[in-house]
A and B are shown apart, each in its own frame.
Chain A
Amino acid sequence: MTPDQLADLSRVLYSPTTLVLYLASAFVYLYALTTTVGRREEQERGRRAQKLGAALAVAGIGTHVAHEIVRGLAQSRFPLGNMFEVSSLMALVGVVVGFVYLTFIRKRAELNGFVLLGGALVLASALLMYSEPGPLMPILDTWWRHFHVSLLVGAMGIFAAGFVFNGLYLLRDTGERAVARRREQGMHGSTVGAAYVGDLEAADGEHATDGASAGLEGATPSGALADRTTDTLEDVGDDDRDHDAEYRAALRAGVSPWKLAIGTAIGTSSVAWVFVYAADSLGEGLGRLVIINLVMVAAASLARWFVPFLPSTATMDGLAHRTIAFGFLMWTVGTIAGAMWAEQSWGRFWGWDPKETGAFLTWIAYAGYLHARATSGMKGRRAAWIGVGAFIVLMATYLIANYVIVGLHSYAGL
């Protein structure tokens, strides 16, 4: 095949093939997550769904790897030379590490849906930076680059997975806290709380049970229920199931959809403004900004719907911590490797180039997360928020140092 044909093939493998497979796998896994609380036959269906999800995920990883290989062949080089290729590999590493870690190490395959959804989002965002395959500047043509860039891009993917876990932890924790608060109100016989519960009972639909578990089932320990939602495989009685359904709805209602949407939009915009800056026209840039925001808000709202099916906050927090710890180690080694390469290539090991400064800032932010998590009074929500902020710093410096500020690393851009 000619390089042009290879380039076309690599593009098709990327989008739609890989993108669709990731999304399909994500939705199958998310469906499977909802069955973990159901009856025996539902759980059986969920297990089959998980198998299908795993098959789709593996197929998606396969076509993604094939895309990287074909693109590498099309341009006769390792495909890590520009923003598109970096973002693509970031998605691949995030999906592979997240999938393997959840499936085989933590045995929490039911959470794979979020990892694949995150991977699909990064994959789609890379299309905003798509560039045709091309050769590389001679100065980049060295094994140092493979080492330094692969480590950092790998760490970016892992940080992305860590961000997903931190986000889910915060959602779940917010839900649990809201339920606990309302239960307290109910137990103290607050008239306000009672009226609220009554209102909700009168309403119809899923959210009707909101607050009911808080007001009427105050005696049920939330911890036991929380664990039952995911960890118990035995069939539970009808009564218990009703209580569970009430508790789940209350958890979901505990996360305000408006606050979530606005918060997600603010967080997204603090990174995505770069696309406005870098776009050819203001209209095009604003269009991109709106689309990215809508997608992120949609993803966050989707995640909110799944809050009741998540494992306990301790588990989510642990997943986030282990993932970020691994990413931090890779980031550290990758940055040191970068300094070594810079000494070799540019004749100085550190020069506060915008990208270097960005890497350092990201390192500090994640160091802040790890320290916060080890500090009493900071661990839990505050640490998780620092983790979320660190990911924003990572993405912002990644885009800014490529699109906004010209530095020595700028050939990594376009």
Chain B
Amino acid sequence: MGWRWLVRMKTALILLGILGVQTAIATAVPQEPNVPGTVEAWRSGEEGPGELVAAGLDAIGAFDVYGSAMFLALLLLLFLSLTACLIPRIRAWVRLVRRSRPPLTRSVGKQDLVSEFQTDRDPDDVHGEAARLLSDRHWRLRGHDGEDGPPAQVAAEKGLWSREGGSLLFHLSFYVLLAAIVFGQLLSFEGQVGVVEGDRGFTDTEVAYWNYHPGRWFGPEQHAGWQLRLQDFEVDWIRDPTAPGAGQPTTFRSDVTVTDADGEVIEATVEGNRPLNIEGTKIHQLDWGYAPRIVVEEGGEVVFDDFITTVALDRAGFRGAVKAPAATPDVGLDVFLYPFAPEGEPGDPPTLTGAPWDDDPVLIVSQYRGDLQLGLTQQTVVELDTDLLELEGGGFLRPGQQLTIEGVTISFPELRRWVGFQVSSRPQIPWLLLGSALLVAGLVPALYAYRRRLWVMATRTADGTRTLVRVSGRAFQRPDRFEQEHARIVAALAEATGELPEPTAPPPAASDPDDGTSEPATAGSHSEVIHR
């Protein structure tokens, strides 16, 4: 246990495995930050595997895996393990880059790949030619005159630091990503707000948002105070029920004007993939719905007059609510909007289609009186808490019509739309991009670079008339690729020394070496390489 345990690759693999299991849980179990409604339904047993299992899941934090203590602990362990792995590796790598010289060999013939040819050139000449050729190809070189120790040769190495360096860069990029994510949590801001077409708009201040999620270090003074108005919202669908993709939206666009703190007015369009960027703050168009204007009068006095925001139900119209505490007792209206509801046969109610386009809208209103319990119970904008309310009646309402129930007059003068905007400021984005770029930049050499060594040894033939040139080499990774490279170098060297290489024996079959991953330390042990 302890440090030694952390340094092991096996530990890292086990930790990765646990991370995988946690992620699998997060895939299978609904996550509270994403779908709080579903989680609630699981807890109450309405959906999912039942109340008991849900309680168990809750106990282990399975509804919020990425916010659970277990995940944080795992993350800590992973980064500790990573750090423990990386420190010695970085040290070794720096030593390698600074000090390492290609090793000389005593037995050039015993490498994985050996080619030879003869030439009339002098051995020293050949060595010079080989050094020039290899340094042109960016190999690290080491010449040796053969005075003592191994015979005269040119030893070369390539891919020495790029593979390991890439791997280190890849792993180091996680620290950049982690730091960006942590600081992002602290410094970022996100808020949502709904804006009705042509209405008074919205000003970027703390209190104006419907949902407000500032990071811990984000102060209200950081709001720029610009004002946004929704001039026009366009939405359309494939209306032909027989067409392919019937009912799919085709347009989804907001024309807005933004007045910044200096009074400068910007006109812009916000679309699905095109958020508006104001001084580093992004405005996304996330949601929309219809906004009927509803006026409620009681005894000649207006107790409510506003656009209400209705949200789309699953292919069954839109839902909203009117909450009028100004009346005594409170008036609450449960409102369903069907945008396309043509008149039925005389005497029949309108035909409620699920279509979302507002060709023939109708409101279905149910009127409640009693105590709305505003601010006392958890309730959404679109639903009433009917515990202390009493149903008084209801009816259909077309635009321009009015309806009177128990002395309360409800009118529906016009129908507009509202758009849900998300406003976000994320200073961590450039750092995340940097981290991602480093990650990919490290991954490419970590997977594709390969370390290999080459030796060129030219000696006089036994009869002393010619020069025998032997080129041997071995690759620590990707041997198939090195085989081709080796052949090319031999050919180039033979050409440079004015000879054609003789066909050489194929490499010994038994040494179909492991592709990819043998570490230098272990791989070096079964070769005849002399380390100095």
Contact = CB atoms under 8 A, between A and B. Distances in A.
Contacts of B13: 368, 371-372, 375, 378
Of the four ranges (under 10, 10 to 19, 20 to 34, 35 or more), the interface on chain A belongs to 35 or more
A327 to B, nearest CB: 10
B71 to A, nearest CB: 11
Interface in B1-46: 9-10, 12-13, 16-17, 19-20, 23-24, 26-28, 30-31, 33-34
**Interface-central residue, B26, B27, B190, by most chain A CB under 10 Å:** B27
Contacts of A141: 273
B23 A135 contact: no
B417 interface: no
Interface string A369-390: 0111111111100000000000
Contacts of A346: 284, 286
B514 A379 contact: yes
Interface string A356-375: 01101100110110111111
B422 interface: yes
Interface stretch (A19-27, A302-310, A312-320): A312-320
Interface string B241-277: 0001100111110000000000000000001111100
A343 interface: yes
Nearest to B444: A329
Contact of B27 (A106, A139, A322, A354): A354
A326 to B, nearest CB: 8
Contacts of B66: 352
A99 to B, nearest CB: 18
B429 A343 contact: yes
Nearest to A223: B510
B515 A401 contact: no
B440 A137 contact: no
Contact of A312 (B9, B26, B512): B512
A375 B27 contact: no
A374 B26 CA distance: 29
Contacts of B419: none
A296 B422 CA distance: 47
B513 interface: yes
Contacts of B530: none
A150 B87 CA distance: 37
Contact of B447 (A132, A144, A224, A325): A325
Contacts of B227: none
Given A345-B273, A351-B34, A367-B16, A314 B517 contact: no
A293 interface: no
A75 interface: yes
A336 interface: yes
A61 interface: no
B52 to A, nearest CB: 22
B244 A132 contact: yes
25 contacts: A134-B245, A135-B238, A136-B245, A136-B248, A138-B252, A138-B272, A142-B272, A144-B273, A227-B509, A314-B513, A318-B479, A321-B515, A322-B478, A322-B516, A326-B447, A344-B274, A346-B284, A346-B286, A347-B424, A354-B27, A357-B23, A360-B23, A374-B519, A379-B517, A400-B28
Interface of B: 9-10, 12-13, 16-17, 19-20, 23-24, 26-28, 30-31, 33-34, 65-66, 190, 238, 244-245, 248-252, 271-275, 282, 284, 286, 422, 424, 426, 429, 432-433, 436, 439-440, 443-444, 447-448, 478-480, 509-510, 512-517, 519, 522
Given A340-B433, A349-B429, 14 more contacts: A134-B245, A135-B245, A136-B248, A223-B510, A227-B512, A321-B516, A329-B447, A344-B274, A347-B424, A353-B34, A364-B20, A367-B16, A379-B514, A401-B27
